[in-house]
Structure 1
Amino acid sequence: MSNENIIKICDKPLSISVYAVKDKSLHMHDAGMLEIIFCLTGTVKFSYAYEEFTLNAGEYVSVDRDAYYLHSDGYNMCASFYVDLMAFEEKYPNIKYQMFVCEGCRQTTMEYPTIYHDRLRGKLITLLKIILEGNAAENAERIGNITSSVVDLFVSHFDIVLFHSGKIEMNRDILARCQQIYAYLGKRFWEKVTLDDLASHLGLSGSYLSEFMLKWSIGFRRMLSYIRANRSEWFLINTDKTIVEISEECGFSDPQYYYKAFKEWYKCTPRQFRQKYVRHLDDSMVYYEPRVVRSIVDDLMVEHYINMFEE
């Protein structure tokens, strides 16, 4: 993440930027960083994972490891929240390896809006409101608490486990077990990992674990193939390695298996993905001091709470 045009909020694990989009060049975050892109007014095209959809005013989307870019042909104003997840590692030991999907917009395959989308929108608007008041230092503890509650929402309701299972809620112990599994595989995705290795690590039998993963997630093989395909994004974007070399780097047994897995999850081939994303390197952004969106945020806050009252 570039520090240019990004404002750190006190000593908290939160930074923001306010900008207008024409073209935002290709971005990828390191593990442990979560960005939430909030469209304040106008419309913005958001592209990641070979998908593209429109963010309208009041809508938002999260992005962590995935490569993405933004585009707009009209007037817009956006704010990005950057949350340093590693500040919450003591509370959530596996957070570096967790992945999140939160598409707070109408163009999504998941149920929207849910009570958790509305809750998150309210927290984001409140954070902006407090910061724009110009006394962030006096409200540092409050900002820290709201940021922490945003992370809690992501861990409990926007983990990729829930996205893959098509749920918005899950028993806390079951979700925690699934998150343990993702973390174990995320740490070892390039190795030859077996179901028995994972079962031994968790102190479970292989048969029980296999049934558990099929019931509550997407099964051992598909989960591992997803993690490997997702990690391959970095190599496709940031290196000149061949598809065969990337396949080996990410732990696939052969390039055909990599090709099949990538196409399942991204609806395109690795080569098509590389060709689409690496060409989006032009950057036409205008960054602003956050105070310029104060009236827009006030209007969003009023609209948000009117909608909550009516419901």
Structure 2
Amino acid sequence: MQNIIQIEGTPLSISVYSVKDKPLCMHEAGTLEIIFCLTGTIKFAYAYEEFTLNAGEYVSVDRDAYYLHSDGYNMCVSFYVDLMWFEKKYPNIKDILFVCEGCAETTMPYPTVYHDRLRGILIALLKFILDSSVKQDTAKITRITESIVDLFVHHFDIVFFHSGRTEINEEILKRIQEIYAYVDQHLEEKIALDDLSAHLGLSSSYLSEFMRKMSIGFRQILAYIRANKSEWYLINTNYTIVEISEACGFSDPQYYYKAFKEWYKCTPKQFREKYIKQSQDNMVYYEPYVIRTIVDQLMIEHYMSLFLE
């Protein structure tokens, strides 16, 4: 049975499964996965954190390595979005990092109106795909998927996680996304604040203060994106810490070690040892129609909760 079902002519694929152990997975830039727990509970682990997804809860993952585990019955669906489909609308889409933890176990503010909106869209999208009376309307599925991408770009950019904000002015958010994109695109180079300010047509002093107020500061952004990039080398290569530090643009291994530990609360070695061991594959995949009743019940529960609580 095919594990991931591509909906032809759209930027969307889905996978329906139950999990005891899902082995380590890591996406290339340009792919967004949303893991939705339909029934039961699952443990989701990424960035050296682990938390529980209960029925009706979801989490997004883009470039972080992750794995899943469960000791009981569950049913899940993963939505895979090809972000590059929307590159014309969002030129920096490949460089944006997202954080969307639609679950109770999170340090982010939850639930927000945007979490509720996304949950409703995901359930409705599944209902539309599963409805046997509806032929595959690729244009509508693409429009719905685009509305999901719009939510992520405007409300689940990683800057919300870094700044602790739930709302950011659109023009300011666009500028911050340009900053992150520039850093991501020049990651392996020596990047100075003057280079970035010249690229944006701003003074260095203004840009420094802007980044400090609206996000986490220039040096911290550099450190975070480089540490995040190092996940790939830790998982997929046998490079030494010195080699990974150089590949990700850190000035020296000690700085890499310090930055990684600040963001991941563990050392690069601890991260590598924990994640590369997650190779056990104990999954059962299903045809989407088996979750039709579950989706109908989730839709009722979602809208009852939305309008009556």
Amino acid at match of 1:44: I
The one of 37, 42, 45 equivalent to 1:44 is: 42
Aligned to 1:275: 273
Structure 1 CA distance, aligned partners of 2:291 and 2:236? 34
Structure 2 CA distance, aligned partners of 1:216 and 1:166? 10
Give, in angstroms, the shift of residue 282 of structure 1: 1.0
* 2:305 partner SS: helix
- Closer, same or farther in 2 for the Cα pair 1:225/1:10, shift >3 Å? same
* 1:190 partner SS: coil
Q: Do residues 197 (structure 1) and 195 (structure 2) align?
A: yes
Give, in angstroms, the shift of residue 74 of structure 1: 0.2
Which 4+ residue blocks in structure 1 deviate beyond 3 angstroms? Answer: 134-138
* 1:92 partner SS: coil
Deviations 1:151-182 (A, max 9, x none): 00000000001110011210000000000000
Structure 1 CA distance, aligned partners of 2:283 and 2:133? 27
Aligned to 1:15: 13
Give unpaired runs (5+ residues) of structure 2. none
Amino acid at match of 2:66: Y
- Closer, same or farther in 2 for the Cα pair 1:270/1:135, shift >3 Å? farther
The one of 222, 225, 229 equivalent to 2:223 is: 225
Structure 1 CA distance, aligned partners of 2:303 and 2:122? 13
Aligned to 1:308: 306
Structure 1 CA distance, aligned partners of 2:157 and 2:297? 30
* 2:255 partner SS: helix
* 1:52 partner SS: strand
What are the equivalent positions in structure 2 for 1:33-72 lying under 5 Å apart?
33-72=31-70
Structure 2 CA distance, aligned partners of 1:201 and 1:146? 34
Give, in angstroms, the shift of residue 266 of structure 1: 0.2
Aligned to 2:261: 263
The one of 104, 111, 128 equivalent to 1:130 is: 128
Aligned to 2:87: 89
Amino acid at match of 1:85: L
Structure 1 CA distance, aligned partners of 2:59 and 2:91? 24
- Closer, same or farther in 2 for the Cα pair 1:159/1:136, shift >3 Å? farther
Amino acid at match of 2:87: E
* 1:213 partner SS: helix
Contact 2:197 2:203 in 1 (8 A): yes
Structure 1 CA distance, aligned partners of 2:204 and 2:89? 29
* Identical-pair percentage: 72
Number of aligned positions between the proteins: 309
Greater mean alpha carbon deviation, residues 162-171 or residues 35-44? 162-171
Structure 1 CA distance, aligned partners of 2:114 and 2:97? 17
Give, in angstroms, the shift of residue 287 of structure 1: 0.2
TM-score (norm 2): 0.98
Q: Do residues 172 (structure 1) and 138 (structure 2) align?
A: no
Amino acid at match of 1:101: V
* 2:250 partner SS: coil
Aligned to 2:181: 183
Amino acid at match of 1:174: I
Give, in angstroms, the shift of residue 140 of structure 1: 2.1
Structure 2 CA distance, aligned partners of 1:186 and 1:94? 10
Contact 1:9 1:136 in 2 (8 A): no
Aligned to 1:114: 112
Contact 1:18 1:78 in 2 (8 A): yes
* 2:227 partner SS: helix
Structure 2 CA distance, aligned partners of 1:231 and 1:122? 32
Deviations 1:63-96 (A, max 9, x none): 0000000000000000000000000000000000
Greater mean alpha carbon deviation, residues 219-228 or residues 162-171? 162-171
Contact 2:129 2:136 in 1 (8 A): no
- Closer, same or farther in 2 for the Cα pair 1:136/1:236, shift >3 Å? farther
